[in-house]
Structure 1
Amino acid sequence: MNPTRRTVLLAAGTGAAAALLPASPATAEPRAAAALQPYASYWYPDSFPSGSPGAGITWRSLKSWRAADDTDLAFNAASVPLAARFTPTPANTTARSGQARIQSLVSFGPTASNPSQGAADADYYALTHWSYVDELIFWGGSSGEGLILAPNAPIVDAAHRHGVPVLGNVFLPPVAYGGQLQWTRDLVQKDASGHYPLAAQLVAVAEAYGFDGWFINAETSGGNAALATDMLGFLTELKTLGTAKGQRVTWYDSMTVSGSVSWQGALNNQNRVFFQAADSMFVDFRWSSSSLASSGTAAQQLGRSRYELWAGVDVEANGWNRSVNWDAMVPSGSSHVVSVGFYRPEWTRNHLPAGRTPGDFHAADDRFWTGRSLDPAKPDATDTWRAPAVSVADRSTVTSVPFASTFNTGHGLRWYEDGKVTSTAPWNHLGLQDRLPSRRWVVRTTGARPAVTFDFADAWHGGSSVLVAGALDAPATLDLYATRLPLGEDTVVELTHRVDSGSATVELAVATAEPSGAGRPYTYTYFPVTAGSGWGTSTVRLTGLPAGGTVHGLGVRLTGSGGAVKWRLGGLAVRNQAAQSPSVPADLSITGASGGDLRFAWRAVPGDVRHYTLHRVLPDGTRRFLGGTAQRAFFVGGLTPEGGESTARFELRAVGELYTASAPATVTHTW
């Protein structure tokens, strides 16, 4: 059994406290040989440990990987391209653009037996604050399972929708965690021509799987200068090959030029050549104010940006309760020194007690990323946790029409379509996450501030909606999206909403210019919106706004008429013409069957397709949602005959950006 984090720290002393330690090992049930469930991929560089893999674990060699032989590739390859994003005028006067950035190292699940496309469980780290993140590391790996991890496709798809690149992880563990120096030698082996075959393999994997590069974490001690030279050659070739494919490489401050593992907590002569061979470097947690200052200066002297250094902040154990010298990285009164690297911010989920709900998680996650005030326009100056929203300007990818959101966070307690429940099963699948508001939640009112949350008790589509609840003793304007949407003669905005309790007047807020300065509000034009007692969609024509202009901000203004109000927003769409339905998916087939486990595949639909949905048609004619994905393949497990049927019927639909669905493609399965 792998040692715990605590036993490593006690055994190895303060040096081990600096290490980036692995996620918990898998506790998966054994898989039957014929099991069809696809899992996220992981490998060793070449050789394996002694003995046999544990239950639920498959040992694979990266050196022998070939895309053509990868039977799960269709389930693991991301489909959403990396979106361009822009920086709107900051919501407060302390958040800066063009300076420090945020890197996030997250363990979304175990190394082994991590489902490729979500699961029937709402308890998941469904990150939504992408607007503050510049690089996501898919953290994990262990000596008994595998060391090289490719991120799940849903995570990449959600990140790319928000303009965030995702890096796979190469973890060469400390000896205390079972690390073997042979694995480091395997990674940096050369062929007869002097090239590094595993560098080419890493680039090929990232290209085939659709993610953006690699985080290299070499922490196995015992090396020498010759091994460090080989590592530098490997890193140089990895970056050269990766750059040609639009990929990036981040190096962890661990191995030094002598080949030893000695965490510097700085950019210095011991690790400078590795930083120069990479796109950025994660600076180990042992940094100090002076070491970060000197590191930033050293980066600039090399002709590099100081913000290509990520100063590690370990939040795995204590989250926002951790004491951090923020002024060493992101001082409030002067230019930022370096960027910030959060290690294991999924603490916002993991520290919650058993029985936690999606709402519990998002409340904690909002506190982490926005701060105690829960309003990025009004930071709490007494909050010792300097949340990213306080220092870093948010970004947005909402730049083209059509644009739509149903405020789906990528997990839920049920699945809704047109306001009706079509599956009562809890679920998670980040690839179904919408582009979400980048600054949550900015509310401007002279009265009591209403509470604004993602809510999972009801939704129009997906698993969640936005709930605004409060007295509304004065008009309250809620910023929703910072945008760069072209404004045409026929541009309309659609709001799908309802009043759950109380009474409120609803207005759409549209801004055609940036605020006058950081921390200043948008100057909105307000359009009346009809509000009914149930879900309804109001179409607002932007009459009077300049054609050929640009929509810079979208929001809503709520005015109460006395008493508490609960108002729910289920969808928002901006379009210039009536929505067109996508084409019907072609060549739908069941490519594998084992009992109630089925694999589906189909051909990609040309044109504007956001994702695909799979339903089962029950004997009484009702449709049950089984899942959705941006991929061209999907797995469903545990199905059984219903109502005495001898054949099960399935329907696949393509869903467009405005959530219009195609006619169904159908396929049947005989029990």
Structure 2
Amino acid sequence: MNRQPPPASRRRVLPAGAGTAAALLGPSPGDGTAAAAGLPRAGAAEVLQPYASYGFPDSLPSGTPGHGITRRSLAAWTPGSDRDLAFNTATVPLAERFTPVPANTTARAGQARISALAAFDHTAGSPPQGSATADHYAPTPWAYLDELVFWGGSSGEGLILAPNAPVVDAAHRHGVPVLGTVFLPPVAYGGQLRWTRDLVQQDAAGRFPLAAKPVQVATGYGFDGWFLTAETGGGDAALAADMQAFLRALRIAGAGHGLRITWLRAMNTTGQVGWQGALDLTHRLDPASGPVTAEVAPALREAPAPGEPAPYCYLPAGTLTAGGGRRTTSLGPGSLGPGTVHALGVRLTGHEDTVVAWRPGALAVHEGAVSPAAPSGPKVTDTVTADGAVPARLSRRRATAPVRHYALHPRFPGGKRDFLGGTCRTAFSLPGLRRAQNEPAAPLEVHTVHELFTVSMPSETRLLW
């Protein structure tokens, strides 16, 4: 499962050999300056860029890591030494799920379940603040997923991959647990049996020291468990028995924290590896859509029987056209009367013979407008200067009201504001701001955005030039 590294612009640039000395699943702490880290000023900008965590069980590969890859050890990781922890920690709690009337007569509740394995980025260089472009996988069929596996891992980058926070937050909003990956790859893809032995090593008392580490990582970052697959051939029955005992220890350690442990049975009881079955994928690309008439469809009763439609009522929400950007429409209950909304949908009707290929956003039922509280205590914690730009790290305290995310804007001379980005976390990494004129500092505004997309008054800090 070796893959070519992503472009250099999306990687952390480190001096040659630095990766082999790095322990932990996150970069080691420092005072936030390039000089303290012993790095040249020209390369310091990339050091402030956080990435999702990855590593090896214990021992590291020989040789020099590829460009932008930092080799780390799970055995040495601690939350207190991970300076990227605030950027990678999920903040949205796992929503409670419910089971509606089955969509058809053949659906059987509590039987078939779907565990989706999705690779969102390369193992190294996966940003914890989303992507700067639309070239990013954004899942939508949450209602069909029992769990989501943040798939990845390679012998050249790392075998253990913690999911990045935006993916966990998005899944948690829909009640879907997210698992990190422990991938012990086949020999054909650079797998080494010593990494399997590292994972299942025992101390003098017969305990598994590394069984506690994945639990510590999952609880530290706020995700829901681990997906493990041992696919490195060459083992024996003794190694298979150690793996089974390690899994039992891992499940016991994770049970107290409500963690899921999913095991892909590639290694059998003899220690050998084999696979069965196949997976075929079909891709469909929707054409551009024409204008549509939109209606919000609440149902005040459940569907009368499996396979039957819910008794929807339809409330006009206007006409939408392509290229109009995001649009929010608020509707009153009208003639619906009192009751409980059991189902909520959208009906889109195309005009004439035009194609309908829209992607609706959020639907919500609420009692009234909400004005969230502004975040408090925003401050710039780290800065460097690189090629005339100033990358920086910001932190703030969490707002008291329900928060969907925080939005950041710099304010330029003359009052102009630009959108820098949004995050659910209390830390944000700026790729680099440039001085507009001769102003001594750049005001940075931070707004709280509520789940219903109402926005707070700004809190402000200043980035000194």
Q: TM-score, normalised by structure 2?
A: 0.83
Structure 1 pair 92–532 and aligned structure 2 pair: CA distance change class (3 A): closer
Shift of 1:141: 1.1
Secondary structure of residue in 2 paired with 1:229: helix
Alpha-carbon distance between aligned partners in 1 of 2:328 and 2:145, rounded to the nearest angstrom: 34
Alpha-carbon distance between aligned partners in 2 of 1:559 and 1:202, rounded to the nearest angstrom: 49
1:662 counterpart letter in structure 2: S
What are the Cα deviations for residues 501-547 of structure 1, in whole angstroms up to 9, with x where unaligned? xxx6x65432111122233222223445577999674431344523x
Contact 1:23/1:139 (CA < 8 Å) preserved in 2?
Answer: no
Alpha-carbon distance between aligned partners in 2 of 1:661 and 1:544, rounded to the nearest angstrom: 29
Structure 1 pair 90–592 and aligned structure 2 pair: CA distance change class (3 A): same
Q: Report the counterpart of residue 597 of structure 1 in structure 2.
A: 391
Listed as ranges, the gaps of 5+ residues in structure 1 are 1-21, 264-283, 288-312, 321-347, 349-362, 367-452, 456-466, 471-503
Q: Report the counterpart of residue 280 of structure 1 in structure 2.
A: none
Are 1:518 and 2:310 matched, yes or no?
no
Alpha-carbon distance between aligned partners in 1 of 2:52 and 2:256, rounded to the nearest angstrom: 25
Q: Say which of 190, 199, 215 aligns to 1:203.
A: 215
1:586 counterpart letter in structure 2: S
Contact 1:468/1:568 (CA < 8 Å) preserved in 2?
Answer: no
Structure 1 pair 28–189 and aligned structure 2 pair: CA distance change class (3 A): farther
1:627 counterpart letter in structure 2: G
Instruction: Report 1:56-95 matches (<5 A).
Output: 56-95=68-107
Instruction: Report 1:228-377 matches (<5 A).
Output: 228-259=240-271, 261-263=272-274, 284=275, 286-287=276-277, 313-315=278-280, 319-320=281-282, 348=283, 364=285
Are 1:217 and 2:229 matched, yes or no?
yes
Structure 1 pair 541–58 and aligned structure 2 pair: CA distance change class (3 A): same
Are 1:190 and 2:155 matched, yes or no?
no
Structure 1 pair 564–601 and aligned structure 2 pair: CA distance change class (3 A): same
Structure 1 pair 571–213 and aligned structure 2 pair: CA distance change class (3 A): closer
Structure 1 pair 561–48 and aligned structure 2 pair: CA distance change class (3 A): closer
Q: Report the counterpart of residue 574 of structure 1 in structure 2.
A: 365
What are the Cα deviations for residues 87-140 of structure 1, in whole angstroms up to 9, with x where unaligned? 323444444432211111111111112212112111111111111111211111
Alpha-carbon distance between aligned partners in 1 of 2:301 and 2:438, rounded to the nearest angstrom: 61
Q: Report the counterpart of residue 19 of structure 2 in structure 1.
A: none
Q: Report the counterpart of residue 335 of structure 1 in structure 2.
A: none
Secondary structure of residue in 1 paired with 2:373: coil
1:633 counterpart letter in structure 2: A
Are 1:31 and 2:10 matched, yes or no?
no
Contact 1:138/1:151 (CA < 8 Å) preserved in 2?
Answer: yes
1:242 counterpart letter in structure 2: G
Q: Report the counterpart of residue 340 of structure 1 in structure 2.
A: none
Structure 1 pair 25–243 and aligned structure 2 pair: CA distance change class (3 A): farther
Q: Report the counterpart of residue 550 of structure 1 in structure 2.
A: 340
Shift of 1:186: 0.9
Secondary structure of residue in 1 paired with 2:73: coil
What are the Cα deviations for residues 25-78 of structure 1, in whole angstroms up to 9, with x where unaligned? 424526154320001111111111112212101111111100000000101111
Alpha-carbon distance between aligned partners in 1 of 2:176 and 2:320, rounded to the nearest angstrom: 38
Q: Report the counterpart of residue 609 of structure 1 in structure 2.
A: 403
% identical equivalent positions: 52
Alpha-carbon distance between aligned partners in 2 of 1:606 and 1:226, rounded to the nearest angstrom: 53
Secondary structure of residue in 2 paired with 1:242: helix
2:208 counterpart letter in structure 1: Y
2:417 counterpart letter in structure 1: R
Are 1:111 and 2:76 matched, yes or no?
no
Alpha-carbon distance between aligned partners in 2 of 1:183 and 1:78, rounded to the nearest angstrom: 28
Alpha-carbon distance between aligned partners in 2 of 1:149 and 1:568, rounded to the nearest angstrom: 31
Alpha-carbon distance between aligned partners in 1 of 2:359 and 2:206, rounded to the nearest angstrom: 62
After TM superposition, the structure 1 stretch with the greater mean CA deviation from structure 2, 33-42 or 199-208, is 33-42
Shift of 1:651: 0.5
Structure 1 pair 508–252 and aligned structure 2 pair: CA distance change class (3 A): closer
Contact 1:28/1:55 (CA < 8 Å) preserved in 2?
Answer: no
Alpha-carbon distance between aligned partners in 1 of 2:447 and 2:462, rounded to the nearest angstrom: 15
1:610 counterpart letter in structure 2: R
Q: Report the counterpart of residue 421 of structure 2 in structure 1.
A: 627
Q: Say which of 377, 396, 402 aligns to 1:587.
A: 377
Listed as ranges, the gaps of 5+ residues in structure 2 are 15-38
Shift of 1:199: 0.8
Alpha-carbon distance between aligned partners in 2 of 1:116 and 1:26, rounded to the nearest angstrom: 17
2:242 counterpart letter in structure 1: D
Alpha-carbon distance between aligned partners in 2 of 1:258 and 1:222, rounded to the nearest angstrom: 10
Contact 1:147/1:172 (CA < 8 Å) preserved in 2?
Answer: yes
Shift of 1:553: 2.1
Alpha-carbon distance between aligned partners in 2 of 1:31 and 1:124, rounded to the nearest angstrom: 22
Shift of 1:626: 0.6
Structure 1 pair 177–655 and aligned structure 2 pair: CA distance change class (3 A): same
Are 1:156 and 2:168 matched, yes or no?
yes
Contact 1:78/1:157 (CA < 8 Å) preserved in 2?
Answer: yes
Secondary structure of residue in 2 paired with 1:141: coil
Instruction: Report 1:304-453 matches (<5 A).
Output: 313-315=278-280, 319-320=281-282, 348=283, 364=285
Shift of 1:643: 4.1
Contact 1:189/1:197 (CA < 8 Å) preserved in 2?
Answer: yes
Alpha-carbon distance between aligned partners in 2 of 1:629 and 1:193, rounded to the nearest angstrom: 44
2:73 counterpart letter in structure 1: S
**RMSD over equivalenced CA pairs, Å:** 2.8
Contact 1:23/1:140 (CA < 8 Å) preserved in 2?
Answer: no
Number of aligned residues: 423
1:162 counterpart letter in structure 2: H
Instruction: Report 1:160-175 matches (<5 A).
Output: 160-175=172-187
Contact 2:298/2:341 (CA < 8 Å) preserved in 1?
Answer: yes
2:5 counterpart letter in structure 1: A
Shift of 1:559: 7.3
Structure 1 pair 62–532 and aligned structure 2 pair: CA distance change class (3 A): closer
Are 1:636 and 2:427 matched, yes or no?
no
Alpha-carbon distance between aligned partners in 1 of 2:146 and 2:92, rounded to the nearest angstrom: 17
Contact 1:28/1:56 (CA < 8 Å) preserved in 2?
Answer: no
Secondary structure of residue in 2 paired with 1:623: coil
Q: TM-score, normalised by structure 1?
A: 0.59
Alpha-carbon distance between aligned partners in 2 of 1:138 and 1:109, rounded to the nearest angstrom: 9
Q: Report the counterpart of residue 371 of structure 1 in structure 2.
A: none
